[in-house]
Amino acid sequence: MGKRLIAGLIVVGLAAGVWVLWPREGSDATTTTLPVAIATTTSTTNATTTSSSTLDVPVATTTTKPESHVVETVEEAEEILRAIWFDWFEGIYNRDEERIREVVGSQQFLDDAKRAFETMRLTSKPTPSSITFESLEILRSDSQCLVIWSRSDLSTLIGPGTEREGVDVLRGVDNQWRMTSAWAYRDDLWAADCESLVKSVEGESKVKVYTSASIEKISGAPGMFDVAIKQNGNAIEERTGAIVTATGFEPYDATKLEHLGFGKS
């Protein structure tokens, strides 16, 4: 839901962060749909920063991240962010859900994109060069989380005078950087988005956590599954009694189950 905070500032609230767009002096305000969410500014987080003024770097062509790689330069951070935004806008332009899935790391972002298929009107076909960064800082960078503050010009895509300033939280998923959340200000509560459920269970003696890993093969039968895991080039085998696949969900329309008694009691 959109809510006007100050003249010329539009904040669209959804679930994990905020994208802010405002017009340059003398331009009409532009309203659009982007991956956004509610933000707060009640806490300040310490961060290692690297800053840059107007940047002129090569156009990004990939968001792939090598295992354990840490982004250290604003040039590389800009390359990654431009590639993700380009894929995002091109996915919306072509109404290509699979393209969006390649760069998002949450169901919320995917839902935002689906809504944007109907509501966003891009003024031209997206190209990497149509996304211009005026300033950029790395607020946090490690092998699993990359947090970038940037100010960008999106006039070519959305309309004259359209700028955006905010923080993007990227997480490493399957050796690829993906958008996890977005916030309005440097001192918003984005730090929690870099933490994960992994840390909350690593201390549990009965829970074994494999990160940067993939399942190669599952064999056996209920009660005695053999799971072949590949982690950082190493082969690991685990035996387990049950397997749960948790990939998110969408509420089912229970009105389709009236023949089973839905709504009749």
In terms of C-beta density within 10 A (0-12 exposed, 13-18 middle, 19 or more buried), how is residue 96 classed? middle
Using a pLDDT cut of 90, give the percent of the chain over it: 37
Q: For the chain, which residues make up each domain, given as ranges?
A: 2-194, 199-265
- How do residues 99-133 score in pLDDT, each as one tens digit? 998 898 888 888 888 999 999 889 999 999 999 99
Give φ, ψ of 220 to 5 degrees.
Answer: 100, -155
- Scan for tokens 């309005």, then name that residue: 184
Question: Which two structure tokens, joined as six digits, stand for 200?
Answer: 């909350």
Neighbours of 36 (CB within 10 A): 28
Q: Which of 93, 63, 88 is nearest to 78 (CA)?
A: 63
Give φ, ψ of 72 to 5 degrees.
Answer: -120, -15
| 3 state SS of 257 | helix
Q: What is the dihedral of CA 20, 23, 29, 33, to 10 degrees?
A: -30
- In the predicted model, residues of the chain with pLDDT beneath 70 are 1-68, 196-203, 247-249, 265
DSSP string, 217-236: EEEEETTEEEEEEEETTEEE
Q: Parallel, antiparallel, or unpaired: how do β-strands 9-12 and 145-153 relate?
A: unpaired
Which pLDDT belongs to residue 196? 66
Rounded-to-integer distance, Cα 237 and Cα 235, Å: 7
Q: What is the pTM of this model?
A: 0.56
Question: Which two structure tokens, joined as six digits, stand for 171?
Answer: 């997480």
